[in-house]
Amino acid sequence: MTHNVFAAIQTNLKHHAERTLLTIPNGRQLTGSDLDRESAILAGALMELGLEAGDRVSAQIEKGWMNVVLYLAVLRSGAVYLPLNSAYTNSEIEYFVTDAESKLHICSSDRAEHVESLRSQIPELQVLTLDDESGTLIDLFDAAKTSGHMSDEVVSRAAHDLASIIYTSGTTGKPKGAMITHSNLAANANMLTEAWAYSSDDVLLHALPLFHVHGLFVALNLALMNGGPMIMLPKFDPDLVLSVMPSATVMMGVPTFYTRLLADSRFDRQSSGHMRLFISGSAPLLVETSDDFFDRTGQRILERYGMTETGMSCSNPLHGDRRAGSVGPPLPGVDVRIIGEDGDELPRGEIGALEVKGEHVFKGYWKLPEKTASEFKGDWFITGDMATLSEDGYVSIVGRDKDLIISGGLNIYPKEIEDVLNDQGGVVESAVVGVPHPDFGEGIVAVLVGEQELDMAALESACREKLAGFKVPRRWVQLQALPRNTMGKVQKNLLRDDYANSFS
């Protein structure tokens, strides 16, 4: 029996062969049989190119029907899908493609030349392009479609074979590729189906990017694994979201989605009345947002918690007490524990390090066995989040044991920005911190020490050249010295307090 997660998806595609499962407003509509057939055609064409099971396929493309078909084609061919944020710069992409040793990379035509130059390091690398509805990927697909030649094969995979690699940054060192297996994906979809009573009757309003766990493995997979239709928007745009909401039943979003909806007076009980479930995650949902949302719509947002490495671990209940400020009990099949500084499990209610265990936990970091070993204790994965567990089993995330900023649901590791800043002439040292931001939850402040007065505009352009736009600090400050404790460690908490009102 194969554990290729595509086989489970395919059962639903076939079961709903005539039903429209993917609707792109003002774009294509694909039935279950379209998704099955078109992914078979593309998988066949990619295998003709030489793609084999286990090969990495990286993709930096815009959201659309082809993105979904490509993802399914990669799964069914047994290759490993590596989605990349479309905002990443060429230098960021270079690292991911070379580290993962991609066999095939798909990107817009203006980025192709740069990726092709990486062939000096990865001789087998092939590059295809996709720009809206054109490019060499579309040519390949159209030619295969016309020839009528397609491979119906779903390449057999074992439970612990890789389905995907998703890069996540870290407090130290370079980004790490989280190896996600076919059984991880199946476990996640199954536990969420049970917890949220997701079914083929649900219509998913999909406004998240398709290059993170949230949009790909929580949202898209849940709909596909249940044969449920979805309305896919290119991005979160309140006008578009409100126009399709009356046809949808479930939406998943980051807290910024909900604060932006609340800022729109058209969003009310009536416009949200057809929805059965609003889900939030990827970043803390403020109690105030949760309460305002309840007052406006009569519905309580269901907050859940997860990580790239684990998929979803906790969720507030569908029925029962959805507690603002808590991420709820562990999902079915997930164990959690809270560990104190001495390494022992803490009594209920005390703050400690959150560790999780279950079928949903990833296999490890790509080519980093030592890093993997250091983040596990046996089967327990150390999340790096600080949390409490209530007497009745609800987890609350109270902070992070990792130097991480989450802005609009996107993770930003200060070290990555500090490395760029510290490389610039005249910069003695830097500290990057996250402070409250009304739209993104957290906004980025760069605090610098210079040999003389620093040219902040030049520093900003240096960041823009190397880093995706969402990582570029929005406030710049120069100090004589950074605050340090007696051990010499920079006291970022003091900086966070000093610049707390930067964006208010």
Which stretches of the chain bind ligand AMP, using CB under 6 A? 168, 213, 281-284, 303, 305-308, 327, 383-385, 397, 400, 406, 411
Q: How far apart are CA 386 and CA 189, in angstroms?
A: 26
What's the min distance (Å) between Cβ of 307 and ligand AMP? 4
Q: Does 60 bind ligand MCA (CB under 6 A)?
A: no
Which lies closer to ligand AMP via its Cβ, residue 339 or residue 456?
339
Which lies closer to ligand MCA via its Cβ, residue 350 or residue 439?
439
User: Cα(first)–Cα(last) distance of the chain, in Å?
Assistant: 56
Q: Does 208 bind ligand MCA (CB under 6 A)?
A: yes
Q: How far apart are CA 406 and CA 323, in angstroms?
A: 22
What's the min distance (Å) between Cβ of 306 and ligand MCA? 4
Stretch that binds ligand MCA, among 24-32, 116-124, 302-310, 425-433 (CB under 6 A): 302-310
**112: amino acid identity, one letter:** A
Sign of CA dihedral 156, 161, 164, 165: negative
What's the min distance (Å) between Cβ of 312 and ligand AMP? 9
What's the min distance (Å) between Cβ of 250 and ligand MCA? 15
- CA atoms within 13 A of residue 64's CA, in its CB half-sphere: 15
What's the min distance (Å) between Cβ of 402 and ligand AMP? 8
Identify the residue whose tokens are 């736009």. 469
The two three-digit tokens of residue 312, written as one number: 């979803």
Secondary structure of 394-441 in the HEC alphabet?
CEEEEEECCCCEEECCEEECHHHHHHHHHCCCCEEEEEEEEEEECCCE
Q: Closest Cα partner for 206 from 183, 232, 245?
A: 232
Number of residues lying near ligand MCA (CB under 6 A): 22
Which lies closer to ligand MCA via its Cβ, residue 154 or residue 307?
307
Q: How many CB atoms lie within 10 A of CB 385?
A: 21
Mask of contacts with ligand MCA, 20-49, x by CB under 6 A?
------------------------------
Q: Does 281 bind ligand MCA (CB under 6 A)?
A: yes
Q: Choose the one of ligand AMP, ligand MCA, none that binds residue 168, judging by a C-beta under 5 to 8 angstroms depending on kind.
A: ligand AMP
Q: Choose the one of ligand AMP, ligand MCA, none that binds residue 99, judging by a C-beta under 5 to 8 angstroms depending on kind.
A: none
Helical packing angle, 109-116 and 90-100, nearest 10°: 50
Q: How far apart are CA 279 and CA 287, in angstroms?
A: 14
Q: Choose the one of ligand AMP, ligand MCA, none that binds residue 397, judging by a C-beta under 5 to 8 angstroms depending on kind.
A: ligand AMP
Q: Does 221 bind ligand MCA (CB under 6 A)?
A: no
What's the min distance (Å) between Cβ of 299 and ligand MCA? 20
The secondary element (H helix, E strand) that includes residue 287 is helix 287-297
Q: How far apart are CA 427 and CA 405, in angstroms?
A: 22
Q: Closest Cα partner for 255 from 387, 414, 406, 403?
A: 406
**Antiparallel, parallel or unpaired: β 352-357 and 335-339:** antiparallel
Q: How many CB atoms lie within 10 A of CB 31?
A: 17
Q: How far apart are CA 446 and CA 200, in angstroms?
A: 47
Q: Choose the one of ligand MCA, ligand AMP, none that binds residue 130, judging by a C-beta under 5 to 8 angstroms depending on kind.
A: none
Of the candidates 88, 141, 236, 293, which one interacts with ligand MCA according to CB under 6 A? 236
Residues 411-440 that bind ligand MCA (CB under 6 A): 440
Which lies closer to ligand MCA via its Cβ, residue 215 or residue 450?
215
Q: Does 180 bind ligand MCA (CB under 6 A)?
A: no
What's the min distance (Å) between Cβ of 95 and ligand MCA? 19
Which lies closer to ligand MCA via its Cβ, residue 38 or residue 418?
418
Q: Choose the one of ligand MCA, ligand AMP, none that binds residue 440, judging by a C-beta under 5 to 8 angstroms depending on kind.
A: ligand MCA
Site for ligand MCA, rule CB under 6 A: 208-209, 212-215, 235-236, 254, 256, 281-282, 306-308, 407-410, 440, 469-470
